[in-house]
Amino acid sequence: MKIGIIGFAGSGKTTLFNALTGQDAPVGIGKNKINLGTIKVPDARLDRLAEIDQPQKTTYIELAFADVPGGRGTRSLDPQTLGRIREMDALVQVIRGFDNGGEPPEPSAECLSFEEELMLADMQVIEKRIERLRKDRSDPTQLGILERCADLLNQDQPLRELALSAEEKLSIAGFALLTLKPLLLVLSLPEDNSAPVVPEPLSRHATDRGLAVMPLCGPIEAEIAALGPDDQQAFLADLGLEEPAAARFIKAAFSLLNLITFFTHGEDECRAWSLRRGSTAVDAAGTIHSDLARGFIRVEVVRFEDFSRLGTEAKCRDSGVLRIEGKNYVIEDGDICHIRFNV
Ligand SMILES: Nc1nc2c(ncn2[C@@H]2O[C@H](COP(=O)(O)OP(=O)(O)OP(=O)(O)O)[C@@H](O)[C@H]2O)c(=O)[nH]1
Ligand SMILES: [Mg+2]
């Protein structure tokens, strides 16, 4: 899962990147370099599985972050930056809410003007394609979808607002449209002790768009991330925070992307996998390996709670909590899956 940290220059992207990954990438405007990092998603259920199985390897879900530098000025999204953003599965837009000695922060205006840039970029891609399709008439269905997209953008609405079926989404997936990507807003706050409040205009805009806003103070969170676990707890308690930014962020990202966790386990490896809510057993198999999806026969499913209580697969089988499901079974959060396949 690739998450792009985007926003205008100096909004606090690299600082957030450091807070999430625990890295020490240089902050300051104009460090025109992309920073890449991953975090493992802590998972108490996976820890419990590993405690029971004592596998050689325990593999957590990983989130990959790319801190994409913002250019200067208002038209900051050059083709190279846009190209990088297009590769991402989800976007986090950082909005400056702190004073930097220059222009006072205007979170809501900043949010809108960045959104405009993304919409403009989408419009350029769409218009070009529409023009071609009108000429060569090769794909009337796609043309229809893109015309609906263009109408919406002309009304200053991001494409996320458009009700597209899964099939329609697939038909235009190749364009990697930016305002179709799931988006989380992060408001970077002053380093004083004031409560983390999202100002009214920004929260109204976010509500209108159905977006969540996560307020945080980047430099403080980056400092916390750099501490060891014990010091971290003391520091957080001092600040009245329950969890570091990374943990809050992971929850927000899972809910934004509508993800659930399922598990596979054995003597070799205990592993957590992320999956879109509503996905089937074959989708889960495909997440693990394309061979498993291709040769899928059935899946044996045990709920994490049952396995944790009973301790072995044999006991789960004997007590009737191990189920055999077919390819259309909808995977639930916390399912432990053993996929039977034949290729
Ligand atoms: N008070 C406060 N200062 C911040 C916050 N986030 C970043 N800063 C400060 O703002 C300055 C710029 O932060 P960066 O994280 O480098 O900004 P950026 O968005 O990566 O900038 P570019 O890479 O040029 O696009 C640094 O001096 C940070 O310490 C925040 O949440 N609160
Ligand atoms: Mg930066």
Residue 30 maps to a domain: yes
Cα of 5 to ligand 1 centre, how many Å?
A: 12
Q: Residue with the nearest Cα to atom 27 of ligand 1?
A: 28
* Nearest CA-CA partner of 142 in 116, 177, 117: 177
Range of the domain at 296: 278-341
Percentage helix, strand, coil for the chain under 3-state DSSP, each rounded to 5: 45, 20, 35
- Asked if residues 264 and 45 have their Cβ atoms less than 8 Å apart, the reply is no
Q: What CATH number is given to the structural domain containing 301?
A: 3.10.20.30
Cα of 14 to ligand 2 centre, how many Å?
A: 4
Q: Are 150 and 282 contained in the same domain?
A: no
Q: What percent of the chain has pLDDT over 70?
A: 97
- Asked if residues 222 and 232 have their Cβ atoms less than 8 Å apart, the reply is no
Q: Residue with the nearest Cα to atom 25 of ligand 1?
A: 9
Domain count, the chain: 2
Residue 239 maps to a domain: yes
Residue-wise pLDDT for 167-191, tens only, equals 999 999 999 999 999 999 999 999 9
Residue-wise pLDDT for 268-278, tens only, equals 999 999 999 99
pTM: 0.89
Largest CA distance in the chain: 69
Residue 317, SS3 per DSSP: helix
Give the separation between CA 142 and CA 91, rounded to whole angstroms. 25
Q: What is the pLDDT of residue 343?
A: 86
Q: State if residue 70 touches ligand 1 by the CB under 6 angstroms criterion.
A: yes
- DSSP character string of 67-107: E----SSSS---HHHHHHHHT-SEEEEEEE-S--SSSPP-H
Q: On the CB side of 160, how many CA atoms lie within 13 Å of its CA?
A: 19
Q: Are 241 and 284 contained in the same domain?
A: no
Q: Are 310 and 247 contained in the same domain?
A: no
